[in-house]
Structure 1
Amino acid sequence: MSKDLANVCKYLTHGVYVIAVKNKEREHAFTAAWVMQVSFDPPLLAFSINPQHYSYQILKDGGQCSINVLAKAQLPIAAHFGDSNIRNKMTGYSWQAAPSGVSVLTEALAYFDCVVSHSTPAGDHEIVICRVLDAGILNAGVPMHYSDTDNMDGSDELYA
């Protein structure tokens, strides 16, 4: 495999998102870059989550989430929600309820209110397919791209 794989993968164009998950007892949020639309009818989005992540079990139990689009200038927010060492990540940020009741990051550019349709294993992650229940624009700005984060997630070391 090419030694340039880590750099070449940064040319894949995708944004940076905060995904909030909820079950009956808990809420949590994490940063994700692997999000995409997969269907117009019904409207479906897909994202990738590590099954070892704290949010994974909450998502599996609750079956609902919000996908919050970050702005280019919101790198500190991306870093905060990407830090696995913070247990109560949602404290200190402003949240509002989506129609389904899941939390939406008020500072985000836009959000999608979703319910999990199904999922499938994909290497060291799981692909989650969600049906969009609602969506809205919250703030003006330019969306952040994954390439704007440099090596914030430490992924350069994961490409052997």
Structure 2
Amino acid sequence: MTGTDVLTTWPTSSAYRSAARTFASGVTVVSTRYRGQVEAKTVSAFCSLSLEPAMVSVAIGTNSPLIWAIRSTRRFGISVLHDSQPDVSRHFARSAADRPDETLPDFVDTGGTPVLADCLSWFTCELAAAVPAGDHQILIGHVTDVETRPGRPLIHHGGGYRCLGPDLETTT
């Protein structure tokens, strides 16, 4: 294949999904305050991009109302869930209309940006860019503040939630 050849075949959606599910990822809730209300969604596509300046990215479905809320406010929070929070992840994975109000987790305001009160760590961000990527948008944020607590992360792998096991021995 030369540099000018174009790939003409693509994997099926189910083949792609099967392969992507083999990658374990942490679980986050991305949030912003829009028109006086907290808008939030479970997101596993989170990435640390840069140390200097501190930057992160999240990928959110293009049709999610959260995209437009963040583009409007230019601020968002990312709450990293700990291993006892699969219920929180499931709550925010639902559409806002399908979420039971009585189980709404508590948010705290961190300089105008909401983050979950009980989480492993959080980042507050100012929106630097929104990049279209297929059926998602990649939001890139300049990190403005962080906080970390001890604990183990909630892991998503193979379509389900997992927890870290014992530490593996490493050799140097």
TM-score of the two chains, using structure 1 as the length reference: 0.83
Map 1:17-96 to 2 at 5 A: 17-84=28-95, 85-86=97-98, 92-96=104-108
Structure 2 unpaired stretches of 5+? 1-10, 162-172
- Per-residue CA distance 1:26-83 (angstroms, 9 max, x = gap): 3211000000011111100000011211212111110111100001221110000010
Computing the radius of gyration over CA atoms, which structure comes out larger, 1 or 2?
2
Map 1:11-22 to 2 at 5 A: 11-22=22-33
Equivalent residues of 2:22, 2:158 under 8 A apart:
no
Deviates more, 1:114-123 or 1:23-32: 23-32
AA matched with 1:96: V
The ranges of structure 1 where at least 4 consecutive aligned residues each deviate by more than 4 angstroms after the TM superposition are: 87-91
Equivalent pairs, count: 149
- Structure 2 CA distance for aligned equivalents of residues 108 and 6 of structure 1: 28
Instruction: Give yes or no for the alignment of 1:97 onto 2:96.
Output: no
Residue 141 (structure 1) aligns with: 151
C-alpha RMSD of the superposition:
2.3
Q: Please identify which structure carries the higher strand content.
A: 2
- Structure 2 CA distance for aligned equivalents of residues 16 and 90 of structure 1: 22
Q: State which of 5, 16, 21 in structure 2 corresponds to 1:5.
A: 16
Q: 1:76 to 1:112 in 2, by over 3 A?
A: same
Map 1:104-123 to 2 at 5 A: 104-123=115-134
Q: 1:31 to 1:88 in 2, by over 3 A?
A: same
- Structure 2 CA distance for aligned equivalents of residues 116 and 106 of structure 1: 22
Q: 1:88 to 1:43 in 2, by over 3 A?
A: farther
Give the secondary-structure state (helix, strand or coil) at the position aligned to 2:147: strand
What is the percent sequence identity of the aligned residues? 23
- Structure 2 CA distance for aligned equivalents of residues 147 and 7 of structure 1: 11
